[in-house]
Amino acid sequence: MGRPKDPISPYRVSTHKSNGHIYATTQPFVTDNTGKTVRRHFSWGLLIGSKFIPNKNYIYASQEERDKLIFPEEWDLSAIEKKASVRKETFDLSLPDNYHDRFFGTTWLLGKIADKLHITEDLLKTFDGDEQMVKDILTIAMFPYITTYNLNRLQKWQQLEKYPSERLLDPPSITYLTQAIRDRHRICFLKERALRLKDDELLAVDSTTKSGWEDTLINVRWGKNKEGLPLEVTVEAVIYTLTSHQPVYYRIFPGNMHDAKTIRIILADLKEAGFKNVILITDRGYDSTQNLEEYILNEQKMIMCVKSGSGFALDAIKKLGAYSYVPDGFELDYNKELYYRQTDISHSFTLSDGTVKTSDRLKLNLYFDPVRRSAELKRIDIVQKGSKEELNELIEQKCPIDNPSALQKKYPYLKLSFKTIPASNWVEPHGKIIPIPEHKILSGYKRDDEAVAEGRKTAGFFALLTLGKDFDPLEALEQYALRDEQEKYFSQMKTQMLCDRQRNSSEDGKAGRAFTQFVGLMLSSYLRHIWKTTELHKMFSTSLEILDEMRSIRCIEYPEQQVVKLTPFTGKQLDICRVFGFEVPNESDSELHMPVVQKRRRGRPPGSKNKKKL
């Protein structure tokens, strides 16, 4: 029997000599690629004589992690009494102390947005008041959105543009920073954001995929790449508030996990973060009986789009019977040109302890569109005819079928039959033998009468389930339609925010990268919302043009005079400040309410309005 492990041994700091340097390290237990538990050296700094000089791992570690470390009594730990002195002593990456003349308009605007949305305040609470770390996070969050450049160029760009952090963030510094952000920081930050939500706030739940260049991350799995690329992906769930128009939650799942299987984890996260009295809106990807029971168990209000060919919706459609144009009991909304009907339903289930849970105000909202029905009926016939032509070609060519189930899913109105071809060898004309493994080919097909009948029965219908809230059918549909805004934010995230790829290759920095991207997405979402809903939409064709307009403002710093000056805000820059409700800084000589001078138009002046028309 082996010696039992000492629980505090992973936190004892000892020396480790390498390449002529003496490092202060701990030796925690880790699991290698073979599954074996081994010890690895983890460096916290250098030991010069008896003086401990902390490195970035120690600087960006939480106070809880620092308190666990056990240093030898004879070591001099004076260098870690103050964080500010530690940063200056270990690495001085600040800008040289001389005259600065840098762009400032875009970072000033995004910084004011961060203050208005209380993002800066919530970050300070999350990271125990560490102002330098919060400035670093805001800088990393702003940079890709402002410049559309990779973070590798941030260090050089900081010399051209003034960012919240005056410390030059080179790639190693960014790596150490992101590795210091853990998942518990995500939950702490979400708790602060949850406190700022109103009652019955609408939260749209959806997910998107991010392609990964390699499979080094554990969550990178094949899944369904929505970009159609032959790359493995991760699934990123994001929740947007359709009332405040900004993201309030995120989480990364494995790429092969369906949306319906993620809702249980999402509800647990929301409960832990303190999201109360909110209404979740989900699409058909989250439709399942298990998810409905999870909503009922957590007493979670929701609006869920459900498949018309399954569950409560299919049962309700089958009960309608035969009809010529519109089923009986449906009302017409002439504005939307849509027929609708609401039905109270009940769903009960028994827990493992014998407790029976019953739904609260569970309602099925069924909608019917005759025009859509006629188009879908025609589409069913077209798909059947086109499918037969394609399948006949596969049968004639005897093409190997790699995934028979995927092929069957592609042709839902036909039943396909396959034939297994045993392994064999094929001899080329030159005598080379090529082995052919066992494979399947398409041998035939026939019409699936049951699937066709169900498709014809549900044509023209779509349905919404509501729980815990008394929505009428038109109100529920109007609230659900708001989630189209979320799809536009996903597009913005993958284009303007450069969040279309998993750009880190280690598990250590994955949580930190996702955290900084989420902060940047909050800033960009609010800016886009203001642009879209105000007069700025007429002044600028895209939200990025607002940043382009503000970019020319410069910050001039005179160190000898200890004076900071901003170039004046002019023209549309003043309009942007007025619409956002931001005051022009005192360091600028601008005036927010400048008189508008009406220029006289060239040409003959117009006649009097009172002049009688001939």
CA distances from 142 to 53, 60, 162, 516 (A): 32, 20, 11, 9
Asked if the model's pLDDT at residue 600 lies above 60, the reply is no
Spatial separation of the C-alpha atoms in residues 224 and 166, rounded to whole Å: 42
**What does the pLDDT look like over 285-344, one tens digit per residue?**
999 999 999 999 999 999 999 999 888 999 999 999 888 889 999 999 988 889 999 999
Which tops the pLDDT comparison, 606 or 581?
581
Tokens of 188: 């702490």
Count the neighbouring beta carbons within 10 Å of the beta carbon of residue 80: 19
pLDDT tens profile 557-573: 887 777 888 999 999 99
Q: With residue 181 as reference, give the H or E element that holds it.
A: none
**What's the start-to-end Cα distance of the chain, in Å?**
113
Which spans in 127-195 are helix H?
A: 131-147, 154-157, 171-179, 183-194
| Sheet containing 439-447: order of strands | 400-401, 439-447, 414-421
Q: Tell me the CA distances in angstroms from 147 to 160, 161, 178, 496, 497, one per residue in order.
A: 12, 10, 20, 9, 10
Q: How many CB atoms lie within 10 A of CB 44?
A: 24
Closest of 480, 486, 472 to residue 302, by C-alpha = 480
Q: How many CB atoms lie within 10 A of CB 174?
A: 22
pLDDT (mean) for 368-390: 90
Task: Give me the pLDDT at residue 33, please.
Answer: 60
What pLDDT does residue 186 have? 95
Give the pLDDT score at 597: 44
Highest mean pLDDT among 365-374, 385-394, 501-510, 581-590: 365-374
CA angle, 327 then 329 then 330, to 5°: 70
Give the contacts of 229 (CB within 8 A, at least 6 positions apart).
211
Q: Which residue has the higher pLDDT, 34 or 457?
A: 457
SS3 437: coil
User: Could you give the CA distance from residue 65 to residue 449 in angstroms, rounded to a whole number?
Assistant: 64
Band (pLDDT 50/70/90 cuts) for residue 100 is confident
CA distance 402 to 491: 32
Nearest Cα residue to 313 out of 370, 365, 369, 359 = 365
Question: What number of H helices and E strands is found in the chain?
Answer: 21, 26
On whether the CB atoms of residues 239 and 522 are closer than 8 A, the answer is no
Average pLDDT over residues 464-485: 92
pLDDT in tens, 69-80: 999 988 988 888
Helix then strand then coil, % of the chain, to nearest 5: 40, 25, 35
Rounded to whole angstroms, the Cα distance separating 250 from 266 reads 9
Structure tokens at 487: 């799809």
Is the pLDDT at 170 greater than 80, yes or no?
A: yes
Residues 6+ apart with CB under 8 A from 324: none
What does the pLDDT read at residue 486?
78
Rounded Cα distance, 27 and 46, in Å = 15
* 260 pLDDT above the threshold of 80: yes
Q: How many residues does the chain have?
A: 614
The two beta strands, 554-558 and 100-103, are antiparallel
- Residue ranges and CATH numbers for the domains of the chain are 9-90 (no CATH), 197-320+327-361+465-504 (3.90.350.10), 373-458 (no CATH)
- Share of residues in the chain with pLDDT > 70 (%): 90
Alpha carbon separation from 577 to 450, 582, 598 (Å, rounded)? 62, 5, 22
Average pLDDT, integer, range 246-265:
92
Judge whether residue 132 has pLDDT over 50: yes
Cβ count near 112 (within 10 Å): 16
Say yes or no to pLDDT of 157 above 60: yes
The pTM assigned to this predicted structure is: 0.77
Angle between helices 119-126 and 131-147 (to 10 degrees): 130
Q: What pLDDT sits at residue 91?
A: 44
Does 176 score more than 80 pLDDT?
A: yes
pLDDT at position 481 over 80: yes
Q: What is the pLDDT of residue 79?
A: 83
* Confidence band of 591 (pLDDT split at 50, 70, 90): low
According to DSSP, residue 115 is labeled: H
> Is the pLDDT confidence value at 83 over 50?
no
Question: How would residue 95 be classed by pLDDT, with cut points 50, 70 and 90?
Answer: low
Measured in degrees and rounded to the nearest 5, phi and psi for residue 408 equal: -65, -40
Model pLDDT, residue 607? 60
Judge whether residue 417 has pLDDT over 60: yes
- pLDDT category of residue 611 using cuts at 50, 70 and 90: very low
Mean of pLDDT values over 364-387: 92
C-alpha 371: how far from chain center: 36
| Short-list 447, 453, 454, 459, CA closest to 387 | 447
Q: Where is average pLDDT lowest: 54-58, 238-242, 343-347?
A: 54-58
Q: Is the predicted pLDDT of residue 403 greater than 50, yes or no?
A: yes
Max mean pLDDT range (46-60, 230-244, 259-273, 436-450): 259-273
Report residue 595's pLDDT band, with 50, 70 and 90 as the boundaries. very low
Mapped onto helix, strand or coil, the DSSP state of residue 31 is strand
Cβ–Cβ under 8 Å, residues 237 and 262: yes
More confident residue, 211 or 506: 211
* Mean pLDDT taken over the chain: 86
Cα–Cα distance for residue pair 470/190, rounded to 1 Å:
28
What pLDDT is attached to residue 549? 95
Two structure tokens written together for 145: 């959105």
Residue 152 has pLDDT above 60, yes or no: yes
In this predicted structure, the answer to whether residue 41 has a pLDDT above a threshold of 50 is yes
Using CA atoms, how far apart are residues 555 and 482, in angstroms rounded to an integer? 40
